[in-house]
Amino acid sequence: MDKELHQQNGDGQVRQGDTARQEDSGTAERFSRSGFIFAAIGSSVGLGNMWKFPYITGQYGGAAFFLLFTICLLLIGLPVLMAELTVGRGGRGSASSSLVRLSGRKIWGGFGVLSIAGAFFITSFYTVVAGWTLHYAVLTSANALGKGTDFAATFFSFIGGWWPVAWQAAVMLITGWIVVRGASGIEKFNRILIPALLVILIIIMIRVLQLPGASEGVSFFLKPDFGKLTNESLLVALGHAFFSLSLGMGTMMTYGAYVDRRQSLGAATLAVGGGDLMYALLAGMIIFPTTFAFGIEPAQGPGLAFIGLPAAFSAMPLGWLFGGLFFVLLAIAALTSVVSLLEVPVAYAMERWRLSRSTATVSTTVLCFLFGLPSALSVGGAVGWLHWEGKSFFDWVDFIASNIILPLGGLMVTLFVGYAWKHAAQEAGLTAGWFRLWLFLLRYVAPVLIVLVFLHTSGIWSF
């Protein structure tokens, strides 16, 4: 570790000569400083925060789980996030070539391609759920889901039909339309939508906190009961910290390549982690008060957002307005994440096959859409034969990307910065003390925990 530190100058700052040399090669696209923060928060805040986080918190122990999630985010999530950003900015290439450029070894490029494939897979099914949110935004705001609706039947008949394909196409079109504008287009889009997301969250939160019975939901979410925690809670919390920060899929490496050399990556990492946590907290402060006020089971799983919550909104005054806002919120959160996911294979295609941004975007968008079709059609059973071993095509792609590729991608970047890349200190620009802590976590703590998560999520070892 000390050898790396010697490669820094006295106060731990980056040596100008080295960085100026690296600046010459790689992509020329750049984010502005604040634009990058918005884009990275946009990537991390998504359906993971608004849809998955509330129901896993409900399943795995409420406030105690939230605390565990926060600890995992701080101890493992942030160091790995910082590692991805540092590799991206150091290599100035795609999630594959940056690794090769920095290590001088081709094998790392192959690991990078695995993450890029992971981003492609996640895009293909994440856009399906993003499409559902658009459909529900239209349904609720048009007041089509009034009292007396059978919410479960409505949801299952929707996802079991062909309409999800049209909505998924809409999501892909919007995403492609943003990604084709490159880093500057991506930052403009996030700069508007991320603050809008915050405003909508606060409006809905103020409304639902006034519901009778809401305070029970607040205390379920904020008062820890450690008796509810299990080994599994820890692994789920850690896995979710990775998913929530968009790690292991090359997204943060790809965005890192567009970060200005003078921007502090340490400060950016804290801002993104803080943003992610804040949006998760606000989402919880909407979902738990609402579910408790209307006697809905918060641990009901994925159906919570599309069955339980529409039922709750329909029962409150001006429910169409708040329900509509809620689904617009989900749709925005999803879109800003999909943009970052699509950018990963697009950046790779531009570099690998020397394609223009427009050709790379159009072809990747079309391929992703085609690959996503079986996901859209299998999850609700529109096409019955897309099932194997009790899992739909959607579930399989989710399983392979989220439970296998994501931890492996996270492990790869951890080992790369911890052991293989000799100049991480210069690029990271941390002070000596912070650098030591970062490297310690990346070398000894994160890999062990990530391997445990992998063994658990892949089903190899259940404990």
Positions touching ligand PFF (CB under 6 A) are 43-44, 46-49, 119, 122, 243-244, 246, 249, 251, 337, 340-341
Six-digit token string for 206:
């103020």
CB 224 within 8 A of CB 439: no
Beta carbon of residue 401, minimum distance to ligand PFF (angstroms, whole number): 8
Please say which residue, 154 or 364, places its beta carbon nearer to ligand PFF: 364
Beta carbon of residue 402, minimum distance to ligand PFF (angstroms, whole number): 8
**List of long-range contacts for 320-326, beta carbons under 8 Å, 24+ apart:** 320/140, 320/141, 320/142, 320/143, 320/145, 321/141, 322/204, 322/207, 322/208, 323/140, 323/141, 323/145, 324/137, 324/140, 324/141, 325/200, 325/203, 325/204, 326/140, 326/204, 326/286
Report strand pairing: 387-388 vs 391-392: antiparallel
Q: Is 459 left (phi over 0), alpha (psi -120 to 50) or beta?
A: left
Using DSSP, state whether 151 is helix, strand or coil.
helix
Beta carbon of residue 52, minimum distance to ligand PFF (angstroms, whole number): 7
Dihedral over Cα of 150, 156, 157, 158: its sign:
positive
Please say which residue, 4 or 84, places its beta carbon nearer to ligand PFF: 84
Six-digit token string for 63:
């406030």
In DSSP terms, 388 is beta-bridged to 391
Please say which residue, 244 or 392, places its beta carbon nearer to ligand PFF: 244
Distance of alpha carbon 309 from alpha carbon 208, whole angstroms: 12
Please say which residue, 26 or 48, places its beta carbon nearer to ligand PFF: 48
Using DSSP, state whether 152 is helix, strand or coil.
helix
**In sequence order, what E strands does 209-363 have?**
none
Beta carbon of residue 152, minimum distance to ligand PFF (angstroms, whole number): 24
Please say which residue, 175 or 246, places its beta carbon nearer to ligand PFF: 246
CB 256 within 8 A of CB 89: yes
Length of the chain: 463
Beta carbon of residue 186, minimum distance to ligand PFF (angstroms, whole number): 13
Please say which residue, 43 or 103, places its beta carbon nearer to ligand PFF: 43
Query: What b/e string do you get for 263-297 counting C-beta neighbours within 10 Å, with b at 16 or more?
Result: bebbebbebbbebbbebbbbbbbbbbbbbbbbebe
Beta carbon of residue 262, minimum distance to ligand PFF (angstroms, whole number): 26
Please say which residue, 97 or 337, places its beta carbon nearer to ligand PFF: 337
Please say which residue, 290 or 402, places its beta carbon nearer to ligand PFF: 402
Beta carbon of residue 337, minimum distance to ligand PFF (angstroms, whole number): 4
Beta carbon of residue 129, minimum distance to ligand PFF (angstroms, whole number): 9
What residue number has its CB nearest to ligand PFF? 48
Beta carbon of residue 22, minimum distance to ligand PFF (angstroms, whole number): 25
Please say which residue, 341 or 446, places its beta carbon nearer to ligand PFF: 341
